[in-house]
């Protein structure tokens, strides 16, 4: 299937040491050769694959030198897209890289859509859909652990397991066909029920193992939405700064200083936190502050983890008690701050209000208790160390939903066998599970979904 040659800037916008314009398609090398003069005068159409060449980008109409560049030539099929690929490495200024791109587009290439290079790798069978999605996970990874999981998915760890499960279902379906074709043999029916139960149970168990990693995997991929709450001036902004290790929030002695929601990604023991510092939740007449307070209440409802900060230098107030009531039933860590000052908080009342929530004592101005807090966060969501070895993590919400549906379909098939439902009806549930697993890797997926998934990628990837 012949496709247009596409091109895009594959490096971030802005000034930098290098800017890369990438081309992919049947005419990629021809177009680049038309615009690039190697130092030795050799045309790019004549060079060996997977080589890099120094020279100048020229305007073919005027022969004016546009840029000094290094050009990589990679011939199909040994490329990411399985098409001819050329990468023009020029200086990283905004003007220079855009001038090269415009020249490439004027000479036969089309501007690539977001994620189109990776989409072509998928369409040409270079990678499956789960591997393609993992490419973006690598780009967006916030911690080493998240990066490691994404790399393993790009290598095809999840794909291989899903394909193996699909093959087991396919073999089971083939065995069911025997019973449908030869219903008069009682021993065949009995054997079929036995094999079906055994195989389906094994597939269901493997899917459940994958789903057990989903909670941790989703956290690694998307980050843990973490909200810092507490009365004004108890040390919320200081906590944010301690975790981020930078002064991202304004810290003053004036209550109500934080008037908006501040977001920052933080790596805590390999767990990415999407950390949100909120305006203090309290009654206020200040219009701007009141808007911040309302935003804080909304963010609280959507949080995965809440860090409730208490001032240990003051007795607990009605406001504190209202906050404890607001986080009831949520994953919350209570932080008693200002340990360096005389302690006036009632410990017994605090423990009663905190119920099952872990309590950590800190002095954020003196950096005391931060390690204990990080350990409490990691322990709350990851019991012990996160397994980075052979465990296959499911991190993608789409994959999780499909696996849940596939597990349900297998469960329906097993239940039907127990109820002696006609075997051709059981076959329907097995086939449904096989199709759902196929959607994970893109073997049973609609074109509209493919377009939607790749549209989320960055341009040039």
- Binning pLDDT at 50, 70 and 90, where does residue 385 land? very low
Which part of the chain is CATH 3.40.50.300? 228-381
Task: Flag whether pLDDT at 180 surpasses 80.
Answer: no
Among 47-56, 112-121, 223-232, the range scoring the smallest mean pLDDT is: 223-232
Mean pLDDT across 412-429: 85
Please provide the CATH number assigned to the domain covering 6-112.
3.30.1360.120
The pTM (predicted TM-score) of the whole model is: 0.62
Report which listed range, 48-57, 110-119, 382-391, is most confident: 48-57
Which part of the chain is CATH 1.20.120.430? 141-213+393-444
Pick the CATH number of 141-213+393-444 from 1.10.150.120, 3.30.70.260, 1.20.120.430, 1.10.357.10: 1.20.120.430
Among 237-251, 283-297, 383-397, the range scoring the smallest mean pLDDT is: 283-297
User: pLDDT tens across 23-80, in order?
Assistant: 999 999 999 999 999 988 899 999 999 999 999 999 988 889 999 999 999 999 999 9
Specify the pLDDT at position 54. Answer: 95
- Binning pLDDT at 50, 70 and 90, where does residue 424 land? confident
- Provide, rounded to the nearest whole percent, the portion of the chain with pLDDT above 90: 27
Q: 402 or 216, which is more confident?
A: 402
Specify the pLDDT at position 73. Answer: 96
Mean pLDDT across 123-152: 75
Q: 186 or 241, which is more confident?
A: 241
Instruction: Please determine, looking at this structure, whether the domain spanning 228-381 carries the CATH number 3.40.50.300.
Output: yes
- SS in 3 state form for the chain? CCCCCEEEECCCCCCCCEEEEEEECCCHHHHHHHHEEECCCCCHHHCCCCEEEEEEEECCCCCCEEEEEEEEEECCCCCCCCCCEEEEEEECCHHHHHHHHHHHHHCCCEECCCCHHHHHHHHCCCCCHHHHHHHHHHHHCCCHHHHHHHHHHHCCHHHHHHHHHHHHHHHHHHHHHHHHHCCCCHHHHHHHHHHHHHHHHHHHHHHHHHHHCHHHHHHHHHCEEEEEEECCCCCHHHHHHHHHCCCCCCCCCCCCCCCCCEEEEEEECCEEEEEEECCCCCCCCCHHHHHHHHHHHHHHHCCCEEEEEEECCCCCCHHHHHHHHHCCCCCEEEEEECCCCCCCCCHHHHHHHHCCCCEEECEHHHCECHHHHHHHHHHHHCCCCCCCCCCCCCCCHHHHHHHHHHHHHHHHHHHHHHCCCCHHHHHHHHHHHHHHHHHHHCCCCCHHHHHHHHCCCCCCC
């Amino acid at each position: 299937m012949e496709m247009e040659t596409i091109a895009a800037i594959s490096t971030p916008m802005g000034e930098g040491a290098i800017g890369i314009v990438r081309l992919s398609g049947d005419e990629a090398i021809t177009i680049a050769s038309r615009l690039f003069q190697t130092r030795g005068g050799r045309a790019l159409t004549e060079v060996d694959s997977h080589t890099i060449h120094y020279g100048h980008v020229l305007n073919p109409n005027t022969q004016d030198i546009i840029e000094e560049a290094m050009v990589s030539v990679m011939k199909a099929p040994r490329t990411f897209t399985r098409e001819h690929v050329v990468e023009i490495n020029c200086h990283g200024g905004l003007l220079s890289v855009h001038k090269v791109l415009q020249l490439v587009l004027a000479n036969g290439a089309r501007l690539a859509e977001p994620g189109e290079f990776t989409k072509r790798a998928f369409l040409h069978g270079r990678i499956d859909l789960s591997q393609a999605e993992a490419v973006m996970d690598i780009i967006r990874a916030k911690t080493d652990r998240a990066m490691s999981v994404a790399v393993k998915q790009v290598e095809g760890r999840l794909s291989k397991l899903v394909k193996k499960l699909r093959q087991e279902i396919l073999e089971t379906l083939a065995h069911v066909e025997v019973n449908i074709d030869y219903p008069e043999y009682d021993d065949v029916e009995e054997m079929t029920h036995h094999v079906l139960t055994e195989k389906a149970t094994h597939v269901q168990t493997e899917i459940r193992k994958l789903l057990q990693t989903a909670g941790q995997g989703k956290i690694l991929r998307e980050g843990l939405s973490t909200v810092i709450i507490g009365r004004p001036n108890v040390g919320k902004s200081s906590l944010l700064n301690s975790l981020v290790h930078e002064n991202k929030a304004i810290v003053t002695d004036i209550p109500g200083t934080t008037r908006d929601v501040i977001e920052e990604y933080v790596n805590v023991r390999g767990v990415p936190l999407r950390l949100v510092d909120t305006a203090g939740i309290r009654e206020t007449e200040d219009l701007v502050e009141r808007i911040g307070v309302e935003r804080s209440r909304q963010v609280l409802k959507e949080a995965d983890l809440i860090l409730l900060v208490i001032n240990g230098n003051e007795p607990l107030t009605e406001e504190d008690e209202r906050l404890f009531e607001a986080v009831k039933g949520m994953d919350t860590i209570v932080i008693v701050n200002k340990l360096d000052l005389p302690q006036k908080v009632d410990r017994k009342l605090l423990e009663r209000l905190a119920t099952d929530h872990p309590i950590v004592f800190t002095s954020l101005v003196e950096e005391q208790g931060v390690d204990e807090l990080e350990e409490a966060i990691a322990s709350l969501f990851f019991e012990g160390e996160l397994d980075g070895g052979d465990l296959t993590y499911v991190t993608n919400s789409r994959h999780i939903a499909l696996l849940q549906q596939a597990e349900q379909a297998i469960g329906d098939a097993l239940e039907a066998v127990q109820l002696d439902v006609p075997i051709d009806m059981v076959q329907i549930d097995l086939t449904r599970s096989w199709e759902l697993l196929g959607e994970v890797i893109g073997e049973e997926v609609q074109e509209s979904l493919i377009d939607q998934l790749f549209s989320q990628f960055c341009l040039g990837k």
